[in-house]
């Protein structure tokens, strides 16, 4: 009874509104929550300064965004997806399987991932190896992999303070966590000779060890909301938090970034590559929609313009680490010519 | 021993003996304790509510005011319309930011150097240029004149005047450097800074600039979404409840349906979002992020609540009413529509309001159908992209800028006000239709 009624009501409504999805004069964007603050700033500027409507941006996460983006060509599907990591081959294949063959990749800048703590205590100085040892599920002790035995920082390394290891970080669904694991944890694992050997002999086993974060309460999954992590750090001075640089930038009066391999996470250090735990941010454009949905080339032009992504652009004010001039110019060209991934792969060969 | 004394001593035994007195005292004490437990429970509830409200209002009330600066703006013809064409196209594309910058430079003529000027310009909101543009487009005769205009300050300046950026900490630890703090103080000394009621917050859509962000887009989106929800779930829910309660035969099928409805009322809301994605978006091809689809999904979620409350209300109508109506010759449909339903309506309304209040607070099912989005334009219809109040709260809570903290709390206050208005409407409706016998 109930479902019959609902279904018939829905069908009636669907009849009444069928066709509304056909015409669309507004760009639709999905994707990463890390890129979201930057993409929204560009979209707003774009909407205000041009005759086009302000694009609609959904924060779905990198993976979710690419999945939506790759589900097909047509006005029911998004035109652009933001991503805090490069598109994977499996995703390119999934795209192609649904007829999305012409994807344009545009890098918009960098984002640093920082480990930070409250200003009420001293600044931490860590190496990647220490980060790995503190957070990995299994660590090598005396030539054998054992469940992580370290309870305090001092137990791990005598030079570190005698406080409990407690790190608040994002859950596995987060792009920030993916990047942190890849850059900091894997980097740290490589620095341990035994694991470096393992990497030579069995790459898969190495990744399994390097990417597994401990689950015994010393790493606390604090949700996707970085503001919440900042608030929790304030309340708990002994804890460290993992989040994007823009949150450190905005809360510099409350929290301080830990040195990583002796380098402080500052705007300059991330921009010139001194601070190594940083990742590139991208967005992907569906070329088939250019000319169908109005404003896509103009939106890309706004995103890659000097006043947005340049060294003194408004995105830098929002915490984005801008690319060097030459690289920005390169992506501006890519956007102008709408060079698809397959075309640029032919032209440039594999990228490192 | 005489009979009288025997009876007396027995009475003494049962009612006035020490043991009896003790029992009596224990019973009274138990009663008082029980009342205390109740008071204690209410006390905890009130304390939690008070705590919640004070923390939200305490954090959010500042968002209802805004710091603005009054600048002498020269609407220079050579900047806006050098060829004196008077063309709207030219006026619309002119560089209004330059006007703001030059009037700021007038205030601080000795500021030189690119970095310094950038720091100075950062004090005023980027919305100032758009405000001037709208003024000129509304009245092109402004070109060539000079007048004082009140423009919004940037979020950091606003936070400074509201006391959230402390001046006693080191320069590296706050968002404004010492020079900027000096300029802001100078502007205030000259009497150019004003704190006014923040109309922007109540009238505009979302923005990435906290000082330009408003709640109106989300309020309109919520209204449209809940309207669709109400229009779908009330008639369908009441019809289902009436049929099941008054007409349906009692057999295995209706039992099955009843069990299912009771179960559906407890299904997590995200499941309805997935259903909406699969059915409304993928199968029927309705647009993403539309209040129409949001309303339909929330209606699915609310229906079980409405049906259950409706059936309870119908059950509570005394059988004598039905029998009397049937007795004077009314048909079963007449009995239900003219006698039973009006009496049950207050109860049904209460159930509907509880369901709608739950729908008002939902954001999880809307995630699946694309309503968790950054949308600047105020929604203009049931199919234009829009978001809702709880989503707006969530998005602002997730933004890095400090100024969004007060906006988040203010948005919660607006959400609560919306809820109170909705409940008030329900109470008034119920009063109007309530019947006593």
Closest Cβ opposite residue A250 in set B397, B398, B400: B400
Same domain for B95 and B42: no
Q: Is the pLDDT of residue B227 over 80?
A: yes
Judged by CB atoms closer than 8 Å, whether chains meet at A14 and B286 is answered as: yes
CB–CB contact A56 B287 (8 Å): no
CB atoms closer than 10 angstroms to residue A9: 15
**What confidence category does residue B436 fall into, taking pLDDT thresholds of 50, 70 and 90?**
low
**Per-residue pLDDT at B229 exceeds 60:** yes
- Check CB contact under 8 Å for A21 and B397: no
What range defines the domain where residue B407 resides? 216-433
Chain A contact set for B279 (CB, 8 A) = 10
* Same domain assignment for residues B52 and B75: no
Chain B environment of A6 (Cβ under 8 Å): 236, 300, 303
pLDDT at A24 over 90: no
For residue A302, list its beta bridge partners. none
Residue B341 within any structural domain of the chain: yes
Q: Do B402 and A250 touch (CB under 8 A)?
A: yes
Cβ of A10 within 8 Å of Cβ of B173? The answer is no
Q: Please say if the pLDDT value at position B307 is more than 70.
A: yes
What is the arithmetic mean of pLDDT over B283-289? Answer: 88
- For residue range B256-278, list pLDDT tens digits in order: 999 999 999 889 999 999 999 99
B8-43 confidence digits (pLDDT tens): 555 567 778 888 899 999 999 999 999 999 999 999
Q: Is the domain of B53 the same as that of B68?
A: no
Portion 280-339 of B in contact with A at CB < 8 A = 280-281, 284-290, 292, 296, 300, 303, 307
What is the per-residue pLDDT for A316?
Answer: 84
Q: Does A249 touch chain B (CB under 8 A)?
A: yes
Residues B74 and B165 in one domain: yes
Flag whether pLDDT at A97 surpasses 50.
yes
- pLDDT of A14 strictly over 70: no
Claim to verify: residue B149 and residue B227 sit in the same structural domain: no
Q: Are residues B42 and B73 in the same domain?
A: no
Cα–Cα distance, A278 to A290 (Å, whole number)? 31
Q: Is residue B208 part of a domain?
A: no
Residues 216-245 (A) with a CB less than 8 A from some CB of B: 224-227
B55-61 average pLDDT score = 92
Asked if A318 reaches chain B (Cβ–Cβ under 8 Å), the answer is yes
Which pLDDT belongs to residue A352? 39
Q: pTM of the entire structure? A: 0.81
State the pLDDT at residue A250.
Answer: 79
Identity of the highest mean pLDDT range in A9-13, A267-271, A315-319, B277-281: B277-281
A314 and B240 within 8 Å at the Cβ level: the answer is: no
For the beta carbon of residue A200, count every other beta carbon within 10 angstroms. Answer: 9
pLDDT at B12: 61
Sketch the domain layout of chain A as residue ranges: 24-110+279-348, 112-278
- Whether the predicted pLDDT of A19 surpasses 80: no
Residues B255 and B393 both lie in one domain: yes
Inform me whether the pLDDT recorded for A335 exceeds 80. yes
The reply to whether B126 touches chain A by the CB within 8 Å rule is yes
Q: Same fold for the domain at A24-110+279-348 and the one at A112-278?
A: yes
> Does any CB of chain B come closer than 8 Å to the CB of residue A314?
yes
- Within the 95-124 window of chain A, which residues sit less than 8 Å (CB to CB) from chain B? 119
42-61 in chain A: CB under 8 A from chain B = 43-44, 47-48, 53-54, 56-59
Torsion of CA B146, B156, A266, A58, to 10 degrees: -100
B368 touching chain A per CB within 8 A: no
**Looking at the domain assignment, is residue B119 inside a domain?**
yes
| B59-83 pLDDT per residue, tens | 999 999 999 999 999 888 888 888 8
Tell whether A298 is within 8 A of chain B (Cβ). Answer: no
Among B31, B60, B89, the domain boundary falls at B60
Q: Does A282 touch chain B (CB under 8 A)?
A: no
- The last residue of one of the domains, among B153, B169, B202, is B202
Measured between alpha carbons, how far is residue A277 from residues A110, A134, A182, A244, A310 in Å?
Answer: 10, 17, 9, 10, 21
Percentage of the residues of chain A whose pLDDT score is greater than 70? 91
Query: How many domains, in total, are found in chain B?
Result: 3
Tell whether A2 is within 8 A of chain B (Cβ): yes
Measured distance CA(A206)–CA(A189) in Å, rounded:
8
Check A21 against B172: CB less than 8 A apart: no
Q: Judge if B294 and B416 occupy the same domain.
A: yes
Residue B323, pLDDT above cutoff 90: yes
What per-residue confidence (pLDDT) applies to B9? 52
Residue B207 domain-assigned (yes or no): no
Asked if residue A3 has pLDDT above 70, the reply is: no
Residue B225: the pLDDT is 96
Q: What is the mean pLDDT of residues B328-334?
A: 93
Question: What CATH number corresponds to the domain at position B298?
Answer: 1.10.3720.10
Residue B252 domain flag: yes
Q: What average pLDDT score do residues B137-145 get?
A: 88
**Do B280 and B387 fall into the same domain?**
yes
Put simply, whether A11 touches B (Cβ < 8 Å) is yes
| CATH code at A112-278 | 3.40.190.10
Q: How many contacts (CB atoms, under 8 Å) link A and B? A: 121
Structural domain includes residue B336: yes
| Domain contains B133 | yes
Return the SS3 of A113.
Answer: strand
Nearest CA-CA partner of B140 in B210, B75, B66: B75
Please indicate, yes or no, whether residues B172 and B295 belong to a single structural domain of this protein. Answer: no
Question: B261 with B308: CB under 8 angstroms?
Answer: yes
CB contact under 8 A, B174 and A253: yes
Residue of A nearest to B170 (CA): A253
- Model pLDDT, residue A284: 95
Among candidates A76, A129, A145, A77, which has minimal Cα distance to A261?
A129
CATH architecture of A24-110+279-348: 3-Layer(aba) Sandwich (3.40)
Pick from A243, A335, A246: nearest CA to A38: A246
List, for residues A182-219, the tens digit of each pLDDT value.
Answer: 888 988 888 888 888 888 888 888 888 888 899 888 99
pLDDT at A351: 44
What's the mean per-residue pLDDT of chain A? 85
| Confidence band, pLDDT 50/70/90 cuts, at residue B433 | confident
- What average pLDDT does this structure show over A269-283? 88
Q: Does B134 touch chain A (CB under 8 A)?
A: no
Whether residue B408 sits in one domain with residue B275? yes
Residues of A in contact with B218 (CB under 8 A): none
Q: Give every CB contact of residue B393 below 8 A, 6+ residues apart in sequence.
A: B408, B411, B412, B415
CB-closest option in A10, A20, A47 to B383: A20
User: In the prediction, which pLDDT does B158 show?
Assistant: 93
Instruction: Answer yes or no: do B397 and B323 share one domain.
Output: yes
Mean pLDDT in residue range B359-388: 90
Residue burial B294-326, b: 16+ Cβ < 10 Å; e: rest: bbbbbbbbbbbbbbbbbbbbbeebeeeebeebe
Closest-CA residue of A relative to B381 is: A20
**Helices B341-360 and B216-242: angle between axes, nearest 10 degrees:** 140
- Taking the CB of residue B209, how many other CB atoms lie within 10 A of it? 19
Contacts of B401 in chain A (CB under 8 A): 250
Q: Which residue has the higher pLDDT, B230 or B110?
A: B230
> Does B280 fall in a domain?
yes
Q: What is the pLDDT of residues A126-175, one digit of tens each?
A: 998 899 999 999 888 888 888 888 999 988 888 888 899 999 988 876 77
Residue in A with minimal Cα distance to B96:
A49
Question: Is the CB of A64 inside 8 Å of chain B's CB atoms?
Answer: no
């Amino acid at each position: 009874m109930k479902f019959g009624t609902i279904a018939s009501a829905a069908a009636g409504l669907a009849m009444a509104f069928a066709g509304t999805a056909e015409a669309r004069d507004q760009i639709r964007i999905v994707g990463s929550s890390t890129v979201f603050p930057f993409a929204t700033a560009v979209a707003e500027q774009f909407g205000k300064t041009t005759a086009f409507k302000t694009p609609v941006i959904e924060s779905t996460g990198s993976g979710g965004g690419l999945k939506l983006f790759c589900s097909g060509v047509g006005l029911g599907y998004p035109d652009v997806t933001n991503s805090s990591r490069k598109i994977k081959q499996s995703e390119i294949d999934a795209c192609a399987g649904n007829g999305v063959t012409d994807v344009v990749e545009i890098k918009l800048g960098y984002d640093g991932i920082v480990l930070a703590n409250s200003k009420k205590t001293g600044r931490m100085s860590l190496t990647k190896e220490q980060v790995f040892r503190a957070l990995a599920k299994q660590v090598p002790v005396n030539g054998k992999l054992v469940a992580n035995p370290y309870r305090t920082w001092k137990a791990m390394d005598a030079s570190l303070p005698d406080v409990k290891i407690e790190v608040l970080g994002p859950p596995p669904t987060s792009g920030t966590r993916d990047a942190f694991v890849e850059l900091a944890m894997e980097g740290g694992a490589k620095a341990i000779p035994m694991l470096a050997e393992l990497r030579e002999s069995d790459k898969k086993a190495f990744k399994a060890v390097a990417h597994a974060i401990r689950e015994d309460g010393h790493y606390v999954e604090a949700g996707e909301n970085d503001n919440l992590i900042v608030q929790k750090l304030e309340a708990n001075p002994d804890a460290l938090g993992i989040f994007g640089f823009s949150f450190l930038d905005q809360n510099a009066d409350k929290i301080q970034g830990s040195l990583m391999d002796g380098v402080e996470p500052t705007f300059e250090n991330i921009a010139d590559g001194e601070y190594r735990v940083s990742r590139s941010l991208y967005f992907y454009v569906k070329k088939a929609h250019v000319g169908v949905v109005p404003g896509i080339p103009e939106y890309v032009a706004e995103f890659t313009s000097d006043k947005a992504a340049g060294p003194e652009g408004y995105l830098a004010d929002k915490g984005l680490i801008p690319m060097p001039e030459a690289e920005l110019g390169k992506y501006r060209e890519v956007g102008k010519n709408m060079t698809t991934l397959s075309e640029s792969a032919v032209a440039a060969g594999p990228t490192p | 021993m005489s009979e009288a004394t025997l009876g007396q001593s027995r009475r003494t035994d049962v009612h006035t003996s020490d043991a009896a007195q003790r029992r009596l005292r224990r019973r009274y004490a138990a009663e008082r304790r029980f009342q205390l437990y109740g008071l204690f429970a209410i006390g905890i509830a009130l304390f939690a509510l008070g705590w919640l409200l004070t923390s939200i209002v305490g954090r959010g009330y500042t968002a209802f005011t805004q710091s603005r600066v009054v600048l002498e703006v020269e609407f220079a013809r050579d900047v806006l319309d050098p060829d004196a064409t008077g063309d709207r196209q030219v006026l619309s594309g002119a560089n209004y930011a330059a006007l703001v910058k030059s009037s700021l430079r007038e205030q601080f003529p000795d500021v030189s150097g690119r970095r310094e000027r950038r720091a100075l310009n950062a004090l005023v909101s980027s919305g100032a240029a758009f405000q001037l543009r709208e003024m000129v487009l509304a009245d092109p005769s402004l070109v060539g004149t000079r007048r004082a205009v009140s423009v919004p300050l940037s979020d950091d300046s606003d936070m400074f005047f509201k006391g959230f950026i402390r001046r006693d900490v080191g320069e590296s630890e706050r968002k404004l450097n010492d020079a900027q703090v000096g300029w802001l103080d100078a502007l205030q000394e000259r009497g150019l800074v004003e704190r006014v009621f923040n109309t922007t917050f109540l009238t505009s859509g979302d923005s990435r600039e906290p000082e330009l962000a408003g709640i109106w887009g989300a309020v309109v989106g919520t209204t449209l979404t809940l309207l669709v929800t109400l229009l779908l779930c009330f008639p369908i829910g009441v019809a289902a409840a009436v049929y099941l309660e008054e007409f349906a035969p009692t057999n295995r099928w209706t039992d099955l349906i009843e069990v299912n409805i009771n179960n559906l009322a407890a299904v997590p809301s995200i499941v309805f979002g997935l259903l909406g994605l699969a059915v409304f978006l993928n199968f029927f091809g309705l647009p993403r992020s539309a209040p129409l689809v949001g309303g339909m999904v929330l209606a699915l979620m609310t229906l079980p609540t409405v049906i259950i409350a409706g059936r309870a209300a119908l059950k509570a109508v005394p059988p004598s009413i039905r029998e009397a109506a049937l007795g004077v010759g009314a048909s079963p449909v007449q009995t239900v529509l003219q006698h039973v339903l009006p009496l049950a309506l207050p109860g049904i309304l209460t159930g509907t309001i509880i369901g709608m209040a739950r729908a008002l607070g939902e954001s999880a099912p809307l995630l699946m159908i694309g309503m968790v989005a950054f949308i600047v334009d105020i929604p203009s219809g049931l199919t234009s992209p829009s978001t809702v109040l709880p989503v707006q709260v969530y998005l602002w809570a997730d933004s890095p800028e400090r100024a969004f903290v007060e906006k988040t709390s203010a948005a919660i206050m607006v959400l609560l006000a919306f809820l109170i208005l909705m409940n008030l409407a329900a109470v008034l409706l119920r009063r109007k239709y309530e019947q006593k016998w």
